[in-house]
């Protein structure tokens, strides 16, 4: 669960799934520039600079919102800080944006789970440290991360059922 501090927001959300293995989730996550395939309300995500899978890579992520008259594009640039395929862990930070984020660093970890019924699954943890976002309450931000994690997991589970192991190219 998440907790609010005076100067920084810190939290961790997690989910367990019997519908997808840690290896399958990691296949999706290690392609750092495919976030639009898995996260809600994200229209695009692509490489800006760097080498895929290597720290220093920068991705651009954007979503659009229309009020019926005008379309607003909300975007962030995120830099990969750590990519550890052995531990199934990645960290990234927001380096530029037009949504008022001053500081945001996230870490996503994937752990294998063997359930009592013999099924294999995983636990996904998404932790973060951020300066408070203007116009947001901490509880709303923590809820957004939790929703995004659940959405991502369900989408990966669905893709796993449809496509098997090759999840990095599925789920459009």
Share of the chain above pLDDT 90, in %: 77
CA distances from 48 to 76, 81, 95 (A): 11, 15, 12
| Total number of residues shown for the chain | 172
Question: How many helices (H) does the chain have, and how many strands (E)?
Answer: 2, 8
- Quote the pLDDT of residue 5: 46
Mean pLDDT of 143-167: 84
Say which residue the tokens 């998404």 belong to: 126
Query: Does residue 152 carry a pLDDT above 90?
Result: yes
This model's pTM is above 0.85: yes
Mean pLDDT of 6-25: 92
- Quote the pLDDT of residue 171: 46
- Quote the pLDDT of residue 163: 64
- d(CA 116, CA 30) in angstroms, rounded, equals 28
pLDDT tens for 23-54 read 999 999 999 999 999 999 999 999 999 999 99
Going by C-alpha positions, the residue among 130, 70, 146, 51 that lies closest to residue 97 is 130
pLDDT tens for 61-86 read 999 988 888 999 999 999 999 999 99
Q: 42 or 3, which is more confident?
A: 42
Contact criterion met (CB below 8 Å) for 84 and 110: no
CA distances from 79 to 23, 94, 95, 130 (A): 23, 6, 7, 15
- d(CA 5, CA 3) in angstroms, rounded, equals 7
Query: Does residue 57 carry a pLDDT above 70?
Result: yes
Query: Does residue 10 carry a pLDDT above 70?
Result: yes
Contact criterion met (CB below 8 Å) for 22 and 29: no
- Quote the pLDDT of residue 6: 58
Mean pLDDT of 7-18: 94
Top mean-pLDDT range of 88-92, 96-100, 115-119: 88-92
Share of the chain above pLDDT 70, in %: 91
- Quote the pLDDT of residue 67: 85
Say which residue the tokens 């789970």 belong to: 113
């Amino acid at each position: 669960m998440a907790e609010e501090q005076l100067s920084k927001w810190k939290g961790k959300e997690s989910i367990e799934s019997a519908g997808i293995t840690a290896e399958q989730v990691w296949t999706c996550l290690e392609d750092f520039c495919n976030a639009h395939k898995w996260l809600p309300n994200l229209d695009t995500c692509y490489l800006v600079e760097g080498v895929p899978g290597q720290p220093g890579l920068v991705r651009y992520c954007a979503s659009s919102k229309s009020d019926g008259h005008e379309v607003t594009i909300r975007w962030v640039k995120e830099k990969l800080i750590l990519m550890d395929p052995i531990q199934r862990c990645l960290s990234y930070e927001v380096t530029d944006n037009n949504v008022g984020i001053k500081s945001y660093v996230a870490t996503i970890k994937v752990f294998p789970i063997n359930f009592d019924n013999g099924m294999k699954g995983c636990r996904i943890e998404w932790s973060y440290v951020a300066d408070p976002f203007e116009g947001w309450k901490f509880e709303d931000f923590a809820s957004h991360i939790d929703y995004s994690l659940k959405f991502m997991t369900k989408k990966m589970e669905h893709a796993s059922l449809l496509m098997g192991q090759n999840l990095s190219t599925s789920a459009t």
